[in-house]
């Protein structure tokens, strides 16, 4: 996972008393953030970006603007603390300009960015808590900001906190609140007693979050050696490799193993049986990280389980010949109208529900609620597609081609398996499959064919990873009984996309994935690129010849 200015600035604020003298524990983090500041006083959120002026919000996408605002708030907070208390850094030669000038520029640009920012444009992890919290933190130092959407933002926080009960977190521990603990940095111990959270720390961290752990260390009355060791490890072994920068989450072992494995297994890049030794070795790492006997997993060891990671785990188990745990997933993450990624989430995720649907389809385990859960997810996806006219925005990835990839995979697999007329899917009516599922899949195909660029790529945010998503979408759609002319166009688009990927294999990491700020993963980029270039695809339909398959085939031929 790429490194985050927001989290690194929090880590830079941690102090420790050494030989009777208070010192900043991670001066390298301070200097790394300092070097990443743009000439207008802002930060872009990513250390990979060149330090040039980006503060004119009109030059930023909505997501880049949100990243820049949160990162500039955190960077400004760091500057204020170091300006008031330089500690051992007072004798260091800080790069020009001086901290007063840096603070003044950051404040000015932050005011400009906030004036153009909309609550509706942001869906980052915990933003409805983090942004108001950073405004509170800066206000405590005498810096107040007014902007058009401020009241709406604070209303969102109030709604989020309505169900917040510290007593439950003290007792239960597993909560996404721990991952964003810095959102309560200004709270008193009467409001939230962080000492009671210590038993729920994992390997010295607050739910694998460097910023949350740093906030905890700044507030705890007793020095926590395990928390210090955790941050030392993140600084040394995270993607910053000792330069002081840290990611928004560390470690993310389960997430990266499961996503890489599923990419190469779902698209048949390698055979899970012949590669069973390697697959089992990787799954053993994930198994050791489950905190639930039923196989529900989070993005790292002993982290709160989530729908996405649990679904990927079930998918890989099914592809390896074992029974999955889709019945447990359907029960644990059940919500009205969809499956929830986490407890307490503000809005549902199309991509997570598609991963759950794939897990349900692949799992040989039959249970009473299986058909109902499948139909509920499909209904949610279809309605979401219709409501957005195909312009789906997902909460875990910035690219619209990421949910398209998962929709294409999940619904194409649904059609193929349903055409067999067996099992729980046999209860899904033909008319519904024709009018809802087949129609959406053909709309998806037409959208992909129409949106490909002349050079064979898709998307504007990547475009390497987005092109990989799109090629994989076409590979999924190729198993359907689509008209001959459309199939020829599909194969032409897919081959052009593969040529683009082969010619741009050395492209830099792209920040498409969503955490507290957006991030990139070299492992995921490579996995999706490999799958897109190497996966076999169907030159004819995989639909089986049955009474139901004739009906669905007719539905696809209507698009000829």
Mean pLDDT is lowest, of 78-87, 217-226, 317-326, for: 317-326
Same domain, residue pair 274 and 229: no
256 domain-assigned: no
What pLDDT is attached to residue 50?
39
The domain in which residue 32 lies consists of: 3-247
What pLDDT is attached to residue 123?
73
421 domain-assigned: yes
Same domain, residue pair 434 and 316: no
Instruction: Yes or no: say if 239 and 511 are a contact pair by the CB < 8 Å rule.
Output: no
Tens digits of residue pLDDT in 9-26: 999 999 999 989 999 999
Q: Which residues contact 516 (CB under 8 A, 6 or more apart)?
A: 4, 6, 7, 70, 124, 125, 126, 127, 130, 180, 211, 248
Asked if residue 119 has pLDDT above 70, the reply is yes
Structure tokens at 75: 């960077």
Percentage of residues in the chain having pLDDT higher than 90: 58
Residue 320: pLDDT band with limits 50, 70, 90: confident
Cα 58 from Cα 76, distance rounded (Å): 22
Same domain, residue pair 408 and 435: yes
Asked if residue 191 has pLDDT above 90, the reply is yes
Asked if residue 357 has pLDDT above 80, the reply is yes
Domain's final residue, options 191, 214, 247: 247
Q: Could you tell me which of 97, 105, 170, 161 has the C-alpha nearest to residue 129?
A: 161
Residue bearing the bigger pLDDT, 409 or 560: 409
Same domain, residue pair 554 and 426: yes
For 397, which DSSP code?
B
259 domain-assigned: no
Asked if residue 550 has pLDDT above 80, the reply is no
Same domain, residue pair 55 and 187: yes
Instruction: Yes or no: say if 497 and 470 are a contact pair by the CB < 8 Å rule.
Output: yes
Domain count for the chain, please give it: 3
Structure tokens at 311: 């679904």
What pLDDT is attached to residue 274?
63
Q: Which residues contact 154 (CB under 8 A, 6 or more apart)?
A: 132
CA atoms within 13 A on the CB side of 43: 31
Q: How do strand 513-514 and strand 3-4 relate by DSSP bridges?
A: unpaired
Q: With H, G, I as helix, E, B as strand and everything else as coil, classify residue 334.
A: strand
What pLDDT is attached to residue 58?
41
Percentage of residues in the chain having pLDDT higher than 70: 91
Other CB atoms closer than 10 Å to residue 522's CB: what's the count?
A: 13
449 domain-assigned: yes
Residue 557: pLDDT band with limits 50, 70, 90: low
Rg (C-alpha) for the chain, rounded Å, is: 24
- Crossing angle between the packed helical segments 5-12 and 210-219, to the nearest 10 degrees: 20
Residue bearing the bigger pLDDT, 312 or 56: 312
130 domain-assigned: yes
What is the rounded average pLDDT of the residues 179-196? 93
Same domain, residue pair 360 and 410: no
Residue 472: pLDDT band with limits 50, 70, 90: very high
150 domain-assigned: yes
Q: Could you tell me which of 3, 11, 2 has the C-alpha nearest to residue 182?
A: 11
What pLDDT is attached to residue 57?
36
What pLDDT is attached to residue 345?
75
* CA 157 centroid distance within chain: 21
Residue 53: pLDDT band with limits 50, 70, 90: very low
369 domain-assigned: yes
Q: Could you tell me which of 463, 433, 444, 461 has the C-alpha nearest to residue 554?
A: 433
401 domain-assigned: yes
What pLDDT is attached to residue 56?
34
Q: Which residues contact 176 (CB under 8 A, 6 or more apart)?
A: 126, 207, 304, 342, 343, 344
Residue 428: pLDDT band with limits 50, 70, 90: confident
Tens digits of residue pLDDT in 514-543: 888 899 999 999 999 999 999 988 877 777
Beta bridge partners of residue 339, listed in sequence order: 334
Distances from the Cα of 101 to the Cα of 82, 104, 444, 523, angstroms = 13, 5, 51, 39
Same domain, residue pair 269 and 342: yes
CATH number at residue 222: 1.50.10.160
Report the b/e string of 262-298 with b at 16+ CB within 10 A.
Answer: bbbbbbebbebeebeeebeebbeebeebbeeeebbbb
What is the rounded average pLDDT of the residues 139-166? 92
Q: Which residue has the tokens 């060891």?
A: 301
Beta bridge partners of residue 334, listed in sequence order: 339
CA atoms within 13 A on the CB side of 279: 23
Instruction: Yes or no: say if 14 and 210 are a contact pair by the CB < 8 Å rule.
Output: no
Same domain, residue pair 71 and 141: yes
Phi, psi of 202 (to 5 degrees): -115, 115
Residue 52: pLDDT band with limits 50, 70, 90: very low
What is the rounded average pLDDT of the residues 318-338? 91
Domain's final residue, options 369, 393, 417: 393
For 189, which DSSP code?
T
Q: Could you tell me which of 9, 13, 93 has the C-alpha nearest to residue 43?
A: 9
Same domain, residue pair 374 and 422: no
Structure tokens at 422: 């067996």
> Cis ω on the peptide bond leading into residue 485 (within 30° of 0)?
no
Instruction: Yes or no: say if 84 and 13 are a contact pair by the CB < 8 Å rule.
Output: no
Structure tokens at 59: 């030059």
Instruction: Yes or no: say if 511 and 385 are a contact pair by the CB < 8 Å rule.
Output: no
What is the rounded average pLDDT of the residues 158-165? 87
Same domain, residue pair 274 and 181: no
Domain's final residue, options 363, 393, 423: 393
Tens digits of residue pLDDT in 397-426: 999 999 999 999 999 999 988 888 766 677
Mean pLDDT is lowest, of 49-63, 168-182, 375-389, for: 49-63
Cα 256 from Cα 29, distance rounded (Å): 25
Phi-psi sector, 539: left (phi>0), alpha (psi -120 to 50), beta: alpha
What pLDDT is attached to residue 54?
37
Q: With H, G, I as helix, E, B as strand and everything else as coil, classify residue 280.
A: helix
Same domain, residue pair 383 and 455: no
Tens digits of residue pLDDT in 246-290: 999 999 988 999 999 999 999 988 776 667 677 777 877 776 655
Same domain, residue pair 223 and 297: no
Asked if residue 87 has pLDDT above 60, the reply is yes
């Amino acid at each position: 996972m790429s490194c985050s200015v927001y989290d690194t600035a929090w880590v830079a604020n941690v102090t420790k008393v050494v030989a009777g003298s208070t010192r900043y524990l991670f001066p390298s983090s301070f200097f790394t953030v300092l070097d990443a500041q743009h000439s207008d006083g802002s930060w872009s959120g990513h250390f990979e970006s060149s330090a040039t002026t980006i503060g004119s919000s009109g030059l930023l996408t909505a997501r880049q603007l949100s990243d820049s605002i949160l990162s500039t708030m955190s960077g400004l907070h760091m500057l204020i603390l170091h300006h008031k208390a330089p500690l051992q850094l007072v004798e260091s030669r800080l790069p020009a300009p001086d901290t007063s000038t840096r603070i003044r520029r950051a404040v000015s640009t932050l005011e400009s960015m906030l004036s153009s920012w909309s609550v509706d444009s942001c869906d980052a992890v915990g933003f409805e808590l983090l942004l108001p919290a950073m405004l509170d933190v800066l206000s405590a130092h005498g810096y107040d900001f007014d902007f058009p959407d401020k009241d709406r933002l604070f209303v969102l926080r109030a709604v989020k906190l309505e169900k917040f009960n510290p007593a439950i977190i003290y007792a239960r521990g597993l909560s996404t609140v721990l991952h964003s603990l810095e959102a309560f940095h200004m709270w008193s111990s009467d409001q939230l007693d962080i000492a009671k959270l210590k038993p729920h720390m994992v390997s010295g961290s607050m739910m694998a979050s460097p910023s949350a752990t740093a906030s905890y260390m700044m507030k705890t009355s007793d020095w926590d050696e395990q928390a210090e060791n955790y941050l030392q490890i993140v600084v040394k072994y995270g993607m910053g490799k000792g330069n002081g920068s840290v990611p928004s989450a560390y470690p993310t072992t389960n997430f990266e193993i499961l996503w890489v494995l599923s990419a190469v297994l779902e698209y048949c890049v390698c055979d899970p049986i012949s590669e069973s030794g390697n697959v089992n070795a990787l799954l053993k790492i994930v198994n050791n990280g489950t905190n639930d006997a039923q196989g529900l997993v989070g993005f790292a060891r002993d982290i709160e389980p989530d729908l996405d990671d649990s679904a990927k785990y079930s998918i890989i188990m099914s592809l390896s010949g074992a029974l999955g745990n889709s019945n447990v997933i359907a029960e644990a993450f059940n919500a009205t109208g969809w499956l929830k990624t986490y407890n307490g989430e503000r809005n549902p995720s199309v991509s997570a529900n598609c991963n759950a649907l794939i897990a349900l389809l692949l799992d040989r385990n039959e249970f009473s609620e299986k058909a109902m859960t499948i139909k509920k997810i499909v209904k949610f996806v279809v309605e979401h597609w219709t409501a957005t006219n195909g312009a789906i925005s997902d909460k875990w990835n910035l690219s619209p081609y990421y949910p398209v990839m998962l929709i294409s995979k999940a619904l194409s697999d649904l059609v193929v398996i349903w055409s067999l007329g067996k099992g729980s899917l046999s209860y899904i009516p033909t008319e519904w499959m024709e009018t809802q599922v087949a129609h959406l899949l053909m709309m998806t195909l037409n959208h992909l064919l129409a949106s490909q660029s002349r050079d064979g790529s898709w998307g504007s945010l990547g475009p390497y990873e987005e092109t990989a998503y799109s090629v994989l979408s076409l590979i999924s759609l190729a198993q359907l009984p689509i008209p001959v002319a459309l199939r020829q166009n599909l194969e032409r688009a897919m081959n052009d996309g593969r040529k683009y990927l082969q010619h741009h294999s050395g492209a830099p990491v792209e920040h498409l994935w969503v955490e507290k700020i957006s991030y990139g993963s070299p492992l995921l980029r490579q996995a999706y690129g490999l799958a897109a270039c190497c996966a076999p695809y169907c030159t004819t339909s995989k639909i089986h010849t049955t009474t139901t398959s004739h009906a669905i085939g007719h539905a696809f031929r209507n698009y000829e």
